[in-house]
Structure 1
């Protein structure tokens, strides 16, 4: 992979990670055209090739509608069907088979909550994810689904489409909206100002409630789910260490003295038990005189 191409891909990955909340391992949603292209051009293993582009570990997904579409194409796509069956299956909940374009569009949804990368060779699907519509402001056009990075292949190499100027603008406006106060925060600020102006002291309970409201409002603004009250686990008092409660060894000296006494007694008994060996002298018998 060329250095310029690698830098461009890393820059795009950082953009989607910082602005749209993509996290490792990245999830890549593949359609039948992409799987078939990988097999024809021998870009295997696919997860390693895609991981080299994104610079992180990846998990490859497909849908049941994509599998059914590959199976209906005939014997020429048998290998592609078998290869696609190995991938993880994303939930699509379609009782009747739909086209891959419609199925993947519904799986992605309006906000791409699952943070999927879409790998496809279908020009219609790529155009659909980068289609611009006037949603909020008549002078500003947003993509229909802004936070969807696309991966495609050209011959035996993989590429990732860089974020468009509209996606950068969308992320900038969204970040500015998150930095402003909500109505609830503005009311709490006014109440605090009024209380300090009148010289009234705000109780600690009011401070805790206002802090919780502030945290919840920030979490709702960022699309997170936070409980109403922070729950802390109380630490229970533990008893003393049982090893520190062992009785002291008071009879250590006595034991040593008894051991010494027993050893001395053993020595004396050993000496007494020994028998003295008497040397027997042979008596000389005088020879008879002739």
Structure 2
């Protein structure tokens, strides 16, 4: 990975850790498309994701995303095998499986927040556009066999600066009694 990009990713993950409470190992929620593309490009997805977030990770995949890989048929056999090595995130859509986009949205978006602090790795541009409106959601995708982390969305930047000002002003204007 390029040094400048690496430094930016390190700063970004540090900001997510301090402002939004992300903890190591980071929970990386992947979709079927990124798993399929990683096998197509002959990438070691887990190692690549670890190098992007620059820490240990816990790769997770939903049941609907695995089903979408099965639906691709024999061409995705290698991707299915890779997906089976990841931790399963129960999404409770087994009776009526949703599309990958709907499933990821239902798992990550809890009342407009990324409550479970997932790093989302997806190839779907629509999903990434949707998650940019949710504060504190790091987004990762593959571009020509290179894994890229998107810069913080403006909504995430606002939430981060709001947290920082509250922390700063809360210390100055505290109503606690002084001894």
TM-score > 0.5 by shorter chain: yes
Task: State the alpha-carbon separation in 2 of the partners of residues 88 and 82 from structure 1.
Answer: 13
CA contact (8 A) 2:137 2:156 kept: no
Q: Deviation of residue 164 (structure 1)? A: 2.8
Residue number among 153, 163, 166 corresponding to 1:164 in the alignment: 153
Task: State the alpha-carbon separation in 2 of the partners of residues 151 and 164 from structure 1.
Answer: 13
Q: Secondary structure at the match of 2:113?
A: coil
Task: State the alpha-carbon separation in 1 of the partners of residues 2 and 169 from structure 2.
Answer: 42
Equivalent residues in 2 for 1:5-44, closer than 5 Å:
5-44=5-44
Identify unmatched segments of 5+ residues in structure 2. none
Task: State the alpha-carbon separation in 2 of the partners of residues 96 and 72 from structure 1.
Answer: 14
Task: State the alpha-carbon separation in 2 of the partners of residues 2 and 178 from structure 1.
Answer: 34
Match of 1:113 in 2: 115
Please report the RMSD computed on the Cα atoms of aligned residues, expressed in angstroms.
Answer: 2.1
Task: State the alpha-carbon separation in 2 of the partners of residues 8 and 173 from structure 1.
Answer: 21
Q: Scaled by the length of structure 1, what TM-score is found?
A: 0.55
Q: Deviation of residue 84 (structure 1)? A: 0.9
Q: Secondary structure at the match of 1:27?
A: strand
What whole-Å deviation, never above 9, does each CA across 1:90-147 have from its counterpart, x for those lacking one? Answer: 12122320111111111112322221100011111111111xxxxxxxxxxxx2x111
Match of 1:176 in 2: 165
Match of 1:102 in 2: 102
Q: Scaled by the length of structure 2, what TM-score is found?
A: 0.87
Task: State the alpha-carbon separation in 2 of the partners of residues 7 and 180 from structure 1.
Answer: 30
Higher relative contact order (CA 8 A, sep 6+): 2
Q: Deviation of residue 89 (structure 1)? A: 0.4
Q: Secondary structure at the match of 2:162?
A: helix
Runs of 4+ with >4 A deviation: 178-181
Once structures 1 and 2 are overlaid, which stretch shifts more, 71-80 or 100-109? Answer: 71-80
Task: State the alpha-carbon separation in 2 of the partners of residues 177 and 9 from structure 1.
Answer: 25
Task: State the alpha-carbon separation in 2 of the partners of residues 125 and 104 from structure 1.
Answer: 8
Equivalent residues in 2 for 1:32-111, closer than 5 Å:
32-44=32-44, 46-94=45-93, 95-108=95-108, 109=110, 110-111=112-113
Q: Deviation of residue 165 (structure 1)? A: 3.4
Total equivalences in the alignment? 173
Task: State the alpha-carbon separation in 2 of the partners of residues 104 and 4 from structure 1.
Answer: 30
Identify unmatched segments of 5+ residues in structure 1. 131-142, 193-290
